[in-house]
């Protein structure tokens, strides 16, 4: 049973650029959620995808967007990067709903300069 | 509306002594409750979960938590701390069948030799 894998592990971007982060969900999981974790804070829910549709979104602007593919892998795209977007981005997968807990990846550390 | 409050930002214990990490929650619906652990520069690992079955939940690495509806609490305990328990711990609430999982701000556990 494979876990959740994220790529890249680290990334440095310039303010105003666009970035794409990738996530492969755990085998057998069909739901993927993305979280932003700023330094010293708890993870904040960005959005969730189930069967290739966004079915929940947190308090993040539209420049944060995502995709889920037929194999349940997912991408997080952030446009017009701002300095405050610097954070650890975590991907988590679950079966249908997160009632029974998530499996998290190790995250992508994004630094915006 | 849901919320999670972790009552201590830092807890320091000596190795071999008990651990208590406190969590209070607020949820409009029957929630699922979780504790996750995050070691430095790592993703989050599920410690244990409560999903309306037994109120005393046993998790990995000797941790357990008790769901107390009357007190809206879900405190995490361990009888004897180990050096390897030093990490950040997050209390998490998810509405039954829903998304928008809410994380507490985290409690940093320090274990002294």
Task: List pLDDT tens digits, range B58-71.
Answer: 999 999 999 998 89
Chain A touched by B102 (CB under 8 Å): yes
Which of B98, B103, B106 shows the shortest CA–CA distance to B31? B98
Of B19-33, B72-86, B91-105, the poorest mean pLDDT is in: B91-105
Give residue B55's pLDDT band: very low, low, confident or very high (50, 70, 90).
confident
Q: Across chain B, which distance is largest between two alpha carbons, in Å?
A: 43
Give residue B20's pLDDT band: very low, low, confident or very high (50, 70, 90).
very high
pLDDT for the residue numbered A99: 67
The answer to whether residues A44 and A61 touch, using CB atoms and an 8 Å cutoff, is: no
Instruction: Find, in chain B, the residue whose alpha carbon is nearest to that of A41.
Output: B105
Chain A touched by B31 (CB under 8 Å): no
pLDDT for the residue numbered A15: 98
Q: Which residues of A touch B7 (CB under 8 A)?
A: none
- The residue among B43, B48, B103 with the most chain A CBs within 10 A of its CB, best to mutate, is B43
Q: Is A93 helix (H, G, I), strand (E, B) or coil?
A: strand
CA angle A41, A46, A52 (to 5 degrees): 150
Q: Which residues of B touch A103 (CB under 8 A)?
A: 46
pLDDT for the residue numbered A94: 87
Chain A touched by B7 (CB under 8 Å): no
Yes or no, beta carbons of A105 and B104 under 8 Å apart: no
Q: How far apart are CA A98 and CA A104, in angstroms?
A: 12
Whole-Å CA distances, A18 to A13, A64, B50: 8, 10, 39
pLDDT value at B98 more than 80: no
Chain A touched by B49 (CB under 8 Å): yes
The token duo for A2 is 């494979």
Yes or no, beta carbons of B99 and A33 under 8 Å apart: yes
Give residue B97's pLDDT band: very low, low, confident or very high (50, 70, 90).
low
The token duo for B66 is 């008790």
Q: Which residues of B touch A35 (CB under 8 A)?
A: 103
Q: Is B2 helix (H, G, I), strand (E, B) or coil?
A: coil
pLDDT for the residue numbered B27: 79
Yes or no, beta carbons of A104 and B36 under 8 Å apart: yes
Chain A touched by B103 (CB under 8 Å): yes
- State what percent of residues in chain B have pLDDT above 90: 69
Nearest to B101 among A45, A55, A106 (CB): A45
> What are the 10-residue block averages of pLDDT along chain A, 113 residues in total?
88 98 91 92 91 90 96 95 97 78 91 97
């Amino acid at each position: 049973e494979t876990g959740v894998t994220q790529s890249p592990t680290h990334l440095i971007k310039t303010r105003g650029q666009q970035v794409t982060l990738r996530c492969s969900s755990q085998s057998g999981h069909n739901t993927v959620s993305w979280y932003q974790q700023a330094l010293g804070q708890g993870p904040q829910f960005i959005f969730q995808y189930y069967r290739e549709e966004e079915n929940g979104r947190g308090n993040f602007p539209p420049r944060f967007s995502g995709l889920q593919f037929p194999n349940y892998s997912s991408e997080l795209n952030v446009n017009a990067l701002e300095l405050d977007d610097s954070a650890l981005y975590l991907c988590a997968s679950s079966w249908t709903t997160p009632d029974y807990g998530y499996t998290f990846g190790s995250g992508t550390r994004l630094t915006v300069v | 509306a849901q919320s999670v409050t972790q009552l201590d930002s830092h807890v320091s214990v000596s190795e071999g002594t008990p651990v208590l990490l406190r969590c209070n929650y607020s949820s409009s619906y029957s929630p699922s409750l979780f504790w996750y652990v995050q070691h430095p520069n790592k993703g989050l690992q599920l410690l244990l979960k409560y999903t309306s079955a037994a109120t005393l939940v046993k998790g990995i690495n000797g941790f357990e938590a008790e769901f107390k509806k009357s007190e809206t609490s879900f405190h995490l305990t361990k009888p004897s701390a180990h050096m390897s328990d030093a990490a950040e711990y997050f209390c998490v609430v998810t509405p039954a069948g829903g998304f928008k999982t809410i994380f507490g701000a985290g409690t940093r556990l320090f274990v002294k030799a």
